């Protein structure tokens, strides 16, 4: 692919990515679970590079690490109460997508738990309106990188979530860990003798 297109096309790519992410979440809705939340990529980032050379050098770092979410969700608190990752990210062992739980799942507990808290009132308001919480994606790849990623082979191989996402017991909302890039994937694939040919991860 023409590298010169990288910077000029980021805007277009992002719009496409958002459309595709939306379509993908719609289709996985029907396939997997009704009411999967609207789940789109962040529209707010800037390459902020003065020239093409810097853009290329930093190419793998242009993803925003912190994403402003509609609810101040806390991984730490839920994990301290003994919940498992798969209680909420149900697709992680089977499908390509780990998935984000729908507001119905939140409300099975928050119908009665912490109902007086402002953030929980917001959650309840989404449910009342019949809307999903518009969570924004934290981990994703530009469409132009043509990366395919599946969770399931990693989970089957016994790789811990923390290897790629860090220790979520310390997190409120998720942050993207630096360096979720090709070198990171390849180093580990070499270590575990997992496939390293280009078509393993690209389409």
In the window 70-109, what residues touch ligand HEC (CB under 6 A)? 71-75, 77-79, 81, 83, 85, 87-89, 92, 97-101, 105-106, 108-109
> Could you say which of 4, 8, 110, 130 contacts ligand HEC (CB under 6 A)?
110
What's the rounded Cα separation, in Å, for the pair 89 and 100? 6
Interacting positions 144-203 with ligand HEC (CB under 6 A): 144-145, 147-151, 153-155, 157, 159, 161, 163-165, 168, 173-174, 180-182, 184-186, 188-189, 192, 194-196, 198, 200-202
Report the residue from 10, 17, 40, 138 that binds ligand HEC according to the rule CB under 6 A.
138
- Output the smallest distance, CB 198 to ligand HEC, in A: 3
The phi and psi torsions of 197 (rounded to 5 degrees) equal -70, 150
Q: Among residues 27, 117, 129, which one has the least CA distance to residue 77? A: 117
Q: Which range binds ligand HEC by CB under 6 A, 9-17, 48-56, 68-76? A: 68-76
Q: Which is nearer to ligand HEC, 16 or 161 (CB)?
A: 161
According to the binding rule CB under 6 A, does residue 115 interact with ligand HEC? no
Q: Could you give the CA distance from residue 40 to residue 15 in angstroms, rounded to a whole number?
A: 10
Backbone angles phi, psi at 136, to 5 degrees: -110, 145
Q: Is 126 in the site for ligand HEC (CB under 6 A)?
A: no
Q: For residue 28, which of 120, 90, 108 has the smallest C-alpha distance?
A: 90
For residue 167 the two structure tokens come to 């220790």
**Residue with the two structure tokens 């789109």:** 40
């Amino acid at each position: 692919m023409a590298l010169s297109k990288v910077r000029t096309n980021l805007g277009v790519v992002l719009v496409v990515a958002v459309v595709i992410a939306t379509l993908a979440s719609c289709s996985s809705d029907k396939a997997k679970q009704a009411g999967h939340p609207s789940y789109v990529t962040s529209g707010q980032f800037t390459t902020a590079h003065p020239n093409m050379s810097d853009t290329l050098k930093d190419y793998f770092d242009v993803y925003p690490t912190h994403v402003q979410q509609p609810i101040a969700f806390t991984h730490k608190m839920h994990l301290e109460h003994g919940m498992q990752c798969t209680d909420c990210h149900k697709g992680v062992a089977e499908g390509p997508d780990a998935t984000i739980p729908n507001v119905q799942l939140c409300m099975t507990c928050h119908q009665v738990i912490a109902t007086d808290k402002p953030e929980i009132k917001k959650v309840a308001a989404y449910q009342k309106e019949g809307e999903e919480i518009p969570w924004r994606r934290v981990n994703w790849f530009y469409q132009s990188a043509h990366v395919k990623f599946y969770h399931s082979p990693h989970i089957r191989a016994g790789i811990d979530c923390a290897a790629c996402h860090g220790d979520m017991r310390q997190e409120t909302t998720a942050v993207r860990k630096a360096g979720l890039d090709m070198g990171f994937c390849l180093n580990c694939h070499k270590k575990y003798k997992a496939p390293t040919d280009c078509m393993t991860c690209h389409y």
